[in-house]
Structure 1
């Protein structure tokens, strides 16, 4: 299990680094676009290129957000239960996340092989975008899978004695 978690961690970190590079590229593209417009020579395709790199940043951030447990979660109801029940709800949420990620990965993988459309201005192939979705959701699913806990949580007496 340790090898699996380490492998998932490395995949997630690779996507995180690619996402940060894409974010820097977006900043550069937008800056160049603004400067070129100020000089009276607007560049064609700047907005579309920025949108494509934004897409990369968003898709590659899913797994990282899952790993940091920063996705929106509503603990209002669950927090009132014992740690054991909370663990069960957390595991159910992780299993549902893995299931949704598997379905999306499968669908986008199959449809990416048939994709022939491109973007309007730059002719960037949608196939690449669908492959990026496949990779992003695959890693997100792996991160969620690695977070499923098979350990029993501490009892309420152990938790209250620690405080």
Structure 2
């Protein structure tokens, strides 16, 4: 693993940890909101806070999902080709992913510099949410870039199923 891949892996792990903390916070916030409604004293802003934290979880999960190669892909046609042709198609897909992610990151970063709107109850600035979009897509693009390969992986020999 080269230095670039290690750096991307480190950044992705930081986003993964932040996402896991946010998932715990969402569970806690929803639980407190439900209990407060049951005892007759509903808390304002529980839904808004949960939505904001869900937003962070979703955007920080893109890079982790790409790293584990769990995004939806359909290999109906590509799987019929040789490993070299499959590698070419995979690299084209990675380059397209990097391109789209970087464009989205750039657009949201430039838009976030001019953002002045806030949420209704908490006055949470939308600028922070747009910066989160920028970070999420940028790291997703970096992970996809780190997955570009120039040689086909060696085939696994001796893998059989005796079931």
TM-score of the superposed pair, with normalisation by structure 2: 0.94
Residue 150 of structure 1 aligns with which residue? 150
CA contact under 8 A between 1:102 and 1:141: conserved in structure 2?
A: yes
Residue 62 of structure 2 aligns with which residue? 62
Residue 74 of structure 1 aligns with which residue? 74
| In 2: Cα distance, 1:29 partner to 1:161 partner | 50
Structure 1 residues 42 and 160: CA distance shift in structure 2, 3 A: closer
Q: Residue deviations 1:130-161, cap 9 Å, x none?
A: 0000000110000000000012455xxxx496
SS of the counterpart of 1:42? coil
Structure 2, gaps ≥5 residues long:
none
Structure 1 residues 52 and 120: CA distance shift in structure 2, 3 A: same
CA contact under 8 A between 1:101 and 1:137: conserved in structure 2?
A: yes
TM-score of the superposed pair, with normalisation by structure 1: 0.94
Residue 117 of structure 1 aligns with which residue? 117
CA contact under 8 A between 1:84 and 1:153: conserved in structure 2?
A: no
Structure 1 residues 85 and 124: CA distance shift in structure 2, 3 A: same
Structure 2 residue 90 is matched with structure 1 residue 90: yes
Residue 16 of structure 2 aligns with which residue? 16
Structure 1, gaps ≥5 residues long:
none
CA contact under 8 A between 1:87 and 1:153: conserved in structure 2?
A: no
Q: How many residue pairs get matched?
A: 159
| In 2: Cα distance, 1:90 partner to 1:153 partner | 12
Runs of 4+ in structure 1 displaced over 4 angstroms?
A: 159-163
Deviation at 1:80, TM superposition (A): 0.7
SS of the counterpart of 1:150? coil
RMSD, aligned α-carbons: 1.4
Structure 2 residue 105 is matched with structure 1 residue 105: yes
